[in-house]
């Protein structure tokens, strides 16, 4: 049995053990159209992610990881181009808070879609803003309201890899809210911030290069 995978015992009918598990082709995915679970037509084309497969040992038991599993970005929050048929002009940023996506409208009925982290319960907000300033590797000065909640925070932190603002920041109007990078990319897709919009450093750098000061930002 160890050599062939068959039980040689009489009367067992040559039962086959360790039959290969059927798996989808690498990169296979399925698409779905409008709706997205909302009560109104969704102007963005979506794609349903494929669930990752599990590695199995010889007798169907899960393989023990040789090191701790790293927290990685969910594939559906990776940057991609999607269809768009909404009313907003190219260059507009649309932040879909419930679904954790930021869209940058492109010409020709397309949009770039990025995964984001958003405000935790009690810190959600919506409205129309504009990009009033852009900064590379921004410094961070926690606002007084945050220091009241977290007196352990530093009063000032220079820009850099350890700064929670990440690689780039886009400042929204006269508010304290920003679209910025993060040194915690595993929080993308979650509601964890104090109202700012988080992106991976790669994504916010890409967005930073595409967006001009004055661009409209619609948060829904």
Which are the catalytic amino acids?
A: 180, 196
Angle at 76 between CA 70 and CA 81, to 5 degrees: 130
Structure tokens that stand for 28 in this block = 């296979």
The 10 Å Cβ neighbour count of residue 198 is 29
| Residues ≥6 apart with Cβ < 8 Å to 13 | none
3-state SS, one letter per residue, for 155-177: CCECCCCCCCCCCEEEEECCCCC
Contact 49, 29 (CB under 8 A): yes
| Residues ≥6 apart with Cβ < 8 Å to 20 | none
Map tokens 């991609």 to a residue. Answer: 80
Give counts: helices (H), strands (E), the chain: 2, 13
Q: How far is CA 149 from the centre of its chain?
A: 27
Give the three-class secondary structure for 36: coil
For residue 41, give the nearest of 80, 85, 77, 10 by alpha carbon: 85
| Residues ≥6 apart with Cβ < 8 Å to 60 | 18
């Amino acid at each position: 049995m160890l050599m062939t995978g068959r039980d040689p015992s009489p009367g067992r009918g040559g039962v086959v053990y360790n039959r290969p598990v059927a798996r989808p082709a690498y990169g296979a995915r399925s698409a779905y159209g409008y709706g997205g679970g909302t009560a109104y037509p969704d102007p963005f084309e979506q794609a349903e992610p494929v669930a990752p497969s599990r590695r199995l040992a010889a007798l169907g038991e899960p393989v023990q990881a040789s090191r701790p599993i790293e927290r990685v970005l969910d594939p559906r929050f990776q940057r991609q181009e999607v269809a768009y048929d909404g009313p907003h002009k190219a260059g507009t940023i649309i932040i879909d808070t419930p679904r954790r996506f930021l869209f940058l409208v492109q010409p020709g009925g397309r949009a770039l879609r990025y995964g984001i982290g958003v405000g935790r319960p009690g810190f959600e907000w919506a409205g129309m803003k504009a990009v009033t300033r852009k900064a590379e590797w921004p410094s961070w000065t926690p606002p007084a309201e945050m220091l009241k909640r977290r007196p352990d925070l530093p009063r000032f932190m220079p820009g850099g890899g350890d700064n929670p603002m990440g690689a780039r920041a886009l400042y929204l109007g006269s508010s304290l809210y920003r679209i910025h990078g993060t040194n915690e990319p595993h929080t993308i897709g979650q509601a964890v911030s104090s109202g700012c919009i988080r992106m991976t450093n790669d994504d916010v750098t890409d967005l930073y290069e595409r967006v001009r000061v004055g661009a409209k930002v619609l948060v829904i």
